[in-house]
Amino acid sequence: MPYRVLIVDDSAFYRRRLTSVLEQDPSIQVIGHAVNGAEAVKKAIEFKPDVITMDVEMPVMDGITAVAQIMQAAPTAILMFSSLTHAGAQVTLDALQAGAADFIPKKFDEISSERPEAILVIQRRVKALARSRRLGPNSDIKDRITPDPAQRNKPDISHFPARQPVFTKLQPSVSPLPASGKRYKLLFIGASTGGPVALQKVISDLPNHFPYPVILVQHMPGTFTAAFAERLDKYTELKVKLAEDNDRLEKGTIYLAQGGKQIQVTGVGAFAKISITDAPKERAFVYHPCIDFAMESLVSAFSGDVLSIILTGMGADGAEGSKLLKAKGATIWAQDENSSVVYGMPKAVAESGSCDRVIPLENIARHIITEMKL
């Protein structure tokens, strides 16, 4: 049975072109169109699509309001199409907060062209969300939204050797287990699809006396990460900043990797600092930033003194880096399937043989607090 998609956009050209792009894949069927948010809400209830593609600025009702109403009336995986501006980033983050599952830059030149790579990106994102909704044990994602900050105190990595994993399926850990007794120097978290809301949940639950530096790597365009850092900073008393070249790693500071660049840690221990670079020419990266690449650098900088967590996301970024860190004695966790928007990256880690625990999103911060003895 094909994946059923509802397209919401006030542009007739965009509706026609996106329909053509999606239906080039025989596993995708566009079942309808809506020209504004109000119509989208009605058709979401009537048609019950697997995925809705949603524009932001529309007459009658905007995309964010429509997302919120759809998530209340007929929870559905929603893919936002967003402009690549700082204002567009803020609006997109509002949509994710309202319940949208993922976003993709709205580029008229790409949607107008027949570039195979651009078409594949859109098709893959839609199919990943559709699969997660159909196959996931918990398809209702409306409960994954975190509280408004006003309610809180301010508070293809081809060079890696391929191997077939041998693993025992881990059961989700709800109550924190006793601390392992390991020593830590860094908390690292990687995320992709569904990550902005998941990261917001985790860091908002960390205590204000958190005594370690934190590095966050979220797959996100470069124009979005500054706005995302600003938003995260509103949800915690810890300092959140966009990582910059030569930043020294300070206790109680959260460093968000820049979109469109690669982040590494150079130096060792107390002399460790952040390096922001373009991708090395001799290595081809799918993601910018790449979670595996960042984790690889932690091996030299901190050896096994790292707690690494891979959250929701499409693909397998973070699986190879987890193996490298685990070989040095690091602690590796993954988000569980029920609470993941897309159970791709955490599944790859959970099945890699390097994962120590799989944990529901709402319990991850409590596990961190117990394990790092805070």
DSSP state of 328: T
Q: So which residues are the catalytic ones?
A: 192, 219, 317
CA dist., res. 337 & res. 137, Å (int): 8
With beta carbons less than 8 A apart as the criterion, state whether 348 and 320 touch. no
Segment holding 5, helix H or strand E: strand 3-8
Nearest to 182 by CA among 368, 323, 48: 368
Phi, psi torsion values for 184, nearest 5 degrees: -125, 155
- Concatenate the DSSP letters of all residues of 257-269 into one string: PPTTSEEEEES-G
Distance between CA 210 and CA 238 in Å, rounded? Answer: 8
Question: Scanning the structure block, which residue is given the tokens 């992709």?
Answer: 192
Query: What are the distances in angstroms from CA 50 to CA 5, 64, 69, 129, 132?
Result: 6, 19, 16, 8, 9
